[in-house]
Amino acid sequence: MKTGGLFCRNSREKKKEEKEMERLDKFLTSQNICTRKETAQLVKKGLVTVDGVCAKDPGQKLDPEQSRVTVEGKEIAYRRRLYLMMNKPRGVLSASQDKQRKTVLDLLPPELFRRGLFPAGRLDKDTTGLMLITDDGELAHRMLSPKSHVYKRYEARLSKRVSQEDIAAFEKGISQGGEAFAPARLWAEDTPNGPGAIVEIREGKFHQIKRMFEARDNRVLTLKRLKIGGLSLDDTLGEGEVRVLSEAEVKQIFDGKLY
């Protein structure tokens, strides 16, 4: 029995080691450097090295996290997962693709695009501000789950001023159109263009903030997301611009719960 157990462990460890190794052409494709066909051409020309040795086979195995890979003399900085912050502009869909309208992925520069990217959560077409784009489904699920209590902060311009009764109603939780919304935090903050408010919610239901204000006989004129957990929108990003998040910034999503 002990021998059998040892054999099983060795098999699992061997499979784990094999799983960690990756083909050179697949590695370069995942990092959006070139296609598999292009990798073969670069290897043939002697323009790819792995750990200082000129690659001979596009199918050779490497450790993506440990191996040092260069293409045409440039070292490739490996990213297992990619996390991007975008300042989403008005009129763009929070979707991976659409045949008729522009999506947030259409705005990505070629050097940041890779297969598997998607917007983590949705902003309405006319809502602007902080959008997280990633290929990490586990993180997105954790971030969006109401159980995680990751609150999102929005700035709203409204048709009329927020009252103390509105604040109390949001704090208690609002029902509208037969749907209940979890308690949210609200405070008045007028904008240069008129009445406004700051809202923090932990859900992401369809048109949620607009519907909550409608239930209070108010109307959202513009809406901008400022923060997800402890991660704030980079105010140096113009609308439609995007940048890579650091590991520390990704952690801020869960380190800075607002509510």
Please state, in angstroms and rounded to a whole number, the distance separating the CA atoms of residues 19 and 27.
13
Do 55 and 43 contact (CB within 8 A), yes or no?
Answer: yes
Helix boundaries (H) for 145-246: 164-172, 208-215
Query: Angle formed by the axes of helices 247-255 and 137-144, to 10°?
Result: 30
Candidates 116, 133, 138, 141; CA nearest to 204 is 141
Contact 259, 151 (CB under 8 A): yes
Which of the following is catalytic: 124, 126, 190, 234?
124
| 113, amino acid identity | F
Can 235 be counted among the known catalytic residues? no
Q: Which residues are catalytic?
A: 124
